[in-house]
């Protein structure tokens, strides 16, 4: 029997070792095609076996270590499938019959139970949890892994900080199977932050054995050699080509995966990915372009799952380090010049939610919210005429080739309208593997497209990442002292605190006025299946292979 209690922030925490419920959806898909297209000839012969599931994606995995500086979003799936966390989110059915993670429910993964006090959370580890080499997972492994996450800097350290996990001294191995987190103060984000991909538990003995004086956290080793306890092991990684997962039959973190092997094949051309799915040569096409999702929605053999991405916005980033964009009238001129409706139909094929033409008055804390800008070239010209750049200027408009299916048509339409104002935008195409470094780490792109989505579903969390100075997804180099204060005040505040809503509304007002990011639309994540069941949408927008099966 499972006991639950309400946790701070409204989360239901399972207090037994019961595994999260897995649902299966879809049946009757076609069998694996007999023909294999040329770009799949590198797959091993075992890919044809019923125990193997093949996934194609246009994304490039550039590291097997989420904590490594420069690790891109596509690589997050490795942390999900290969490593365990103490806890996870539950699973729920969506209104259309699909599956989604359940943000309101926290369930066990490595921890079989936990106790919440005013100043700490104490986790009791599953006694049968082991790493791939057979070593038991201990509280010391958890402590070392958490210390690594808060120490290495960059994205993982800031993500841990969002849950008030800041100092190594907060983490204590009480005994071999008891781990304690000391709380700086209560926060609605602490427990859910332990269920995101970052706080992975690493085999500390393996990591330490491969560390050096110059690399005390074994970053170079774990970049290519994971050391986890998760549902799958990595048996092969050919960067830019494929990643092969092999099931860990001793996994204690949840129900054993339904397939023995998952091959994730990188196929850059979306037309080729679509052909493979329709033929039945692959079972999953992950992150389909909107055009393909729309056209395949009526297919008798392919099932399309199209899920709005919570707390996510496709936007135009205007970098404050670029002189013209330091002028507020230039920023507003760009906002009024963007052909929003044309972009939504051309790049999104109408899938998702518009983020333009909203009310000027901020009455609610709903997020994402449409900003009160719309296509109006006369108003755009008025603002540009008032600026210090009335005659226009030249600017690169950067896009990622890894996201070209929506970024390229969007950029072309923006380029066309900006030219009508005398702003000459040159489209710069950056390889997907280099995008994160150029756009987010170095923050050197004057004008660019971006698509950040906040993992923890609160507006204050979105602003923490995308509007605070120096934070990873603040690709616009934006800095505003009032925003800094408001985010710090609301991030850990309960949403029922009477001060919460007014402060969030003020954040919205500043974002609308300052415009470091111009929202375009809230996207949907599209996934096609043909011969697979158990696909589940997750906030991190990466493949969770643990619930998949062949049909």
Average pLDDT of the chain is 91
The tokens for 326 are 């330091």
Nearest to residue 56, comparing CAs of 530, 539, 534, 551?
Answer: 530
Mean pLDDT of 92-100: 87
Report which of residues 50 and 276 the model is more confident about.
276
> Which residue do the tokens 């922030």 mark?
9
How distant, in Å, are the alpha carbons of 10, 40, 150, 362, 495 from that of 499?
Answer: 18, 56, 30, 16, 9
Tell whether the model's pLDDT for residue 105 goes beyond 70.
yes
CB 35 within 8 A of CB 273: no
Q: Which percentage of the chain shows pLDDT scores above 90?
A: 87
Q: What integer pLDDT is reported at residue 30 of this predicted model? A: 31
Residues in the chain: 551
Residue 25 has pLDDT above 80, yes or no: no
Q: pLDDT class for 24, splitting at 50, 70, 90?
A: very low
At residue 49, the pLDDT reads 60
Mean pLDDT of 207-226: 98
* Structural domains of the chain sorted by starting position, each given as residue range(s) with its CATH number in brackets: 4-16+24-36+48-287+526-550 (3.40.190.10), 314-522 (3.10.105.10)
Q: What is the pLDDT of residue 2?
A: 29
pTM, entire model: 0.81
pLDDT digits (tens, 9 = 90+) for 481-539: 999 999 999 999 999 999 999 999 999 999 999 999 999 999 999 999 999 999 999 99
List the one residue out of 371, 361, 315 whose CA is nearest residue 505.
Answer: 361
* 39 contacts 56 by C-beta, under 8 angstroms: no
**Are the C-beta atoms of residues 531 and 29 closer than 8 Å to each other?**
yes
Q: Is 347 a residue whose pLDDT tops 60? A: yes
Task: Tell which residue, 86, 55, 422, has the closest CA to residue 242.
Answer: 55
Q: Which pLDDT belongs to residue 44?
A: 52
State how far the alpha carbon of 44 is from the alpha carbons of 22, 80, 321, 465, 530, in Å.
29, 24, 49, 41, 20
pLDDT for 210 beyond 50: yes
Q: What is the mean pLDDT of residues 442-466?
A: 95
Quick one: three-class SS letters along 378-413?
A: HHHHHHHHHCCCCCCEEEEEEEEHHHHHHHHHHHHH
Answer whether residue 238 shows pLDDT above 50: yes
pLDDT digits (tens, 9 = 90+) for 159-169: 999 999 999 99
In the block, residue with structure tokens 């280099």? 434
| 57 pLDDT more than 90 | yes
C-beta of residue 233 within 8 angstroms of C-beta of residue 219: no
pLDDT 10s digits, 282-328: 999 999 999 999 999 999 999 999 998 999 999 999 999 999 999 99
CA distance 222 to 210: 9
Cα separation, 522 vs 216, in Å, equals 41
Q: Is the pLDDT of residue 23 over 50?
A: no
pLDDT at 135 over 90: yes
Q: In what order do the strands lie in the sheet with 120-125?
A: 111-116, 120-125, 178-182, 171-175
């Amino acid at each position: 029997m499972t006991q639950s209690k309400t946790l701070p922030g409204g989360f239901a925490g399972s207090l037994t070792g019961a595994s999260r419920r897995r649902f299966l959806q879809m049946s009757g898909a076609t069998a694996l095609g007999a023909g294999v297209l040329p770009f799949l000839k590198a797959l091993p012969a075992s890919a044809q076996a019923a125990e193997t599931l093949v996934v194609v994606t246009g994304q490039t995995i550039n590291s097997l270590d989420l904590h490594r500086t420069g690790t891109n979003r596509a690589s997050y799936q490795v942390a999900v499938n290969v490593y365990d966390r103490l806890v996870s989110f539950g699973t729920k059915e969506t209104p259309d019959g699909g599956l989604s993670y359940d943000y309101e429910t926290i369930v066990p993964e490595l921890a079989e139970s936990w106790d919440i006090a005013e100043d700490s959370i104490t986790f009791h580890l599953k006694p049968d949890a082991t790493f791939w080499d057979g070593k038991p997972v201990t509280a010391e492994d958890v402590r070392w892994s958490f210390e690594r996450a808060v120490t290495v800097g960059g994205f993982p350290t800031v993500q841990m900080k969002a849950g008030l996990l800041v100092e190594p001294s907060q983490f204590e191995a009480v005994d071999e199977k008891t781990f304690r987190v000391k709380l700086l103060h209560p926060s609605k984000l602490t427990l859910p932050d332990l269920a995101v991909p970052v706080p992975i538990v690493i085999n500390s003995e393996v990591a330490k054995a491969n560390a050096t004086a110059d690399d005390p956290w074994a970053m170079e080793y774990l970049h290519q050699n994971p050391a986890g306890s998760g549902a799958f092991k990595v048996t092969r990684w050919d960067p830019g080509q494929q990643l092969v997962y092999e099931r860990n039959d001793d996994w204690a973190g949840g129900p054993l995966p339904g397939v023995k092997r998952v091959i994730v094949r990188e196929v850059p051309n979306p037309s080729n990915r679509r052909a493979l799915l329709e033929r039945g040569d692959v079972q999953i096409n992950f992150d389909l372009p909107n055009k393909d999702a729309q056209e395949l929605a009526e297919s008798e053999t392919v099932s399309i799952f199209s899920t709005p991405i919570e707390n996510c916005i496709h936007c135009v980033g205007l970098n404050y380090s670029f002189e013209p964009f330091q002028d507020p009238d230039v920023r507003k001129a760009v906002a009024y010049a963007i052909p929003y409706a044309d972009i939504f139909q051309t790049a999104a094929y109408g899938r998702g939610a518009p983020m333009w033409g909203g009310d000027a008055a901020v009455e609610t804390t709903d997020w994402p919210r449409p900003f009160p800008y719309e296509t109006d070239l006369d108003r755009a010209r008025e603002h540009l005429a008032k600026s210090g750049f009335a005659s226009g200027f030249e600017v690169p408009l950067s896009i990622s080739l890894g996201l070209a299916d929506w970024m390229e048509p969007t950029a072309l339409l923006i380029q066309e309208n900006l030219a009508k104002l005398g702003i000459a935008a040159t489209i710069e195409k950056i390889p997907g593997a280099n995008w994160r470094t150029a756009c987010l780490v170095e923050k050197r792109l004057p004008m660019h497209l971006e698509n950040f989505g906040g993992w923890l579903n609160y507006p204050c969390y979105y602003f923490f990442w995308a509007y605070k100075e120096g934070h990873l997804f603040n690709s616009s180099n934006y800095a505003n002292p009032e925003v800094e204060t408001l985010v710090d005040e609301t991030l850990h505040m309960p949403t029922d605190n009477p001060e919460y809503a007014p402060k969030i509304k003020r954040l919205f007002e500043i974002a609308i006025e300052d415009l470091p990011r111009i929202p375009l639309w809230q996207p949907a994540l599209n996934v096609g299946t043909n011969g697979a069941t158990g696909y589940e949408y997750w906030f991190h927008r990466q493949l969770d292979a643990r619930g998949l099966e062949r049909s």
